[in-house]
């Protein structure tokens, strides 16, 4: 679901499109232009059907964008940082950094998406009805009716109580409110999502073997996506539950070994990397401010012949792309940000100065210690820490 090209910003939120979205545009436009529209409104020219179908497909993408933009705006109002929105093959996704801090915030963020789609559907349906009452009966009305129906269907589908659908988020919020445990609630919603995804796959294959063709294949594809996403969410919830209550400062490696961004790669390798044998090096300017991050993977990408002329700043991950955190920040809020060009590393800042680094190995070591502690406390559990046992489960 990575962004292929950008559409700019709406209300300060970056909006992008993945190239796979062209597939859904072609599917919708083709189905309408050569199926639905000629059937309900025969006798029009092929060009008219194609134009109306393309308009409907693009308007549907705009509806998806409105759905995701509603999520993003409400998330931002509830203190959740929004990285951006991406439209792709199976719809859209609002990329949030961190999670809601309360069940109420989770409920509002999740619920506003289906509500937006439902309101759009009702408004478009009312527009089509008024147009028919006024005597209009043509392709524009058919487009309005299609968009009304698809938006209502989108709202209903997203309300299924199964993660990663919005209904799964609503289920998690309700369970969180009842149990007081964010992580076990997330695991329950994710398992419901897996069950729902497998049901969609089974239904899709049933349609395929009974000769219903493409619809069954599409349903199975959606089910496969739901299963994979729900599995990932369950794993994330289980890991986060085991790390609940830990701060970044308790996990980080420090003090960090910083480097001069103007050193050449050749000199840095011989004088620092091959001597100290760390894998991550924040770059700081003379004032101590973070200006980049290099890892052994990024240094390895520099050809040997270019190492004497290439400076560290030339191959570093830029400051804006480096995940940063404060020592007192909950570790579970940092984990979703540890991706991108930093090779999974994050830099810990205190008062603007580098004090440590969090790497995947730091997190893995902490998980191993958590398992050992859980085994010592619950020997019958076989060493696995159950998220339901974690006091003060924290925030997703």
**Alpha carbon distance 198, 188 (integer Å):** 16
**Alpha carbon distance 226, 235 (integer Å):** 14
Determine contact, residues 362/251, Cβ cutoff 8 Å: yes
166 has binding-site annotation? yes
**Alpha carbon distance 133, 257 (integer Å):** 73
Known catalytic membership, residue 333: no
Determine contact, residues 5/17, Cβ cutoff 8 Å: yes
Cβ of 276: how many Cβ atoms within 10 Å? 10
| Dihedral (CA of 371, 374, 380, 386) sign | negative
| Dihedral (CA of 43, 47, 50, 53) sign | negative
**Alpha carbon distance 129, 119 (integer Å):** 15
**Alpha carbon distance 145, 39 (integer Å):** 14
- The residue annotated as part of the active site, out of 68, 145, 233, 333, is 68
**What are the backbone angles phi and psi of residue 275, rounded to the nearest 5°?**
-95, -50
**What are the backbone angles phi and psi of residue 213, rounded to the nearest 5°?**
70, -130
Would you list which residues are annotated within the binding site for Zn(2+)? Answer: 67, 71, 166
Please list the active-site residues.
68
């Amino acid at each position: 679901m990575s962004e292929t090209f950008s559409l700019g910003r709406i209300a300060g939120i970056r909006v992008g499109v993945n190239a796979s979205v062209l597939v859904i545009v072609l599917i919708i436009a083709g189905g309408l232009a050569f199926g639905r529209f000629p059937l309900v409104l025969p006798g029009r020219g092929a060009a008219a059907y194609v134009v109306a179908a393309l308009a409907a497909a693009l308007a549907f993408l705009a509806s998806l964008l409105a759905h995701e933009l509603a999520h993003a705006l409400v998330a931002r109002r509830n203190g959740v940082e929004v990285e951006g929105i991406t439209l792709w093959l199976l719809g859209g996704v609002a990329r949030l950094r961190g999670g809601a801090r309360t069940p109420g915030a989770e409920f509002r963020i999740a619920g506003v998406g289906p509500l937006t789609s439902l309101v759009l559907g009702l408004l478009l349906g009312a527009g089509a009805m008024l147009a028919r009452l006024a005597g209009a009966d043509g392709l524009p009305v058919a487009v309005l009716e299609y968009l009304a129906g698809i938006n209502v269907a989108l709202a209903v589908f997203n309300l299924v109580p199964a993660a990663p659908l919005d209904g799964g988020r609503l289920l998690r919020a309700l369970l969180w409110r009842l149990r007081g445990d964010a992580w076990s609630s997330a695991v329950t919603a994710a398992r419901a999502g897996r069950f729902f995804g497998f049901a969609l796959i089974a239904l899709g294959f049933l349609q395929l073997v009974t000769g219903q063709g493409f619809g069954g294949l599409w349903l199975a594809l959606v089910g496969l996506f739901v299963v994979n996403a729900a599995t990932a969410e369950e794993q994330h919830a289980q890991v986060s539950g085991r790390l609940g209550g830990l701060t970044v400062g308790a996990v980080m490696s420090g003090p960090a070994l910083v480097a001069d961004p103007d050193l050449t790669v050749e000199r840095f390798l011989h004088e620092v990397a091959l001597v100290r044998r760390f894998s991550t090096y924040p770059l700081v300017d003379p004032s101590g401010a973070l200006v980049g991050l290099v890892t052994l993977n990024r240094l390895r990408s520099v050809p040997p012949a270019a190492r004497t002329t290439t400076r560290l700043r030339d191959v570093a991950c830029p400051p804006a792309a480096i995940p940063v955190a404060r020592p007192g920040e909950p570790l579970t809020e940092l984990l979703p940000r540890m991706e991108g060009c930093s090779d999974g590393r994050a830099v810990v800042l205190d008062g603007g100065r580098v004090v440590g680094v969090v790497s995947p190995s730091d997190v893995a070591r902490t998980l191993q210690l958590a398992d050992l502690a859980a085994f010592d406390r619950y020997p019958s559990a076989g060493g696995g820490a159950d998220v339901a046992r974690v006091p003060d489960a924290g925030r997703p």
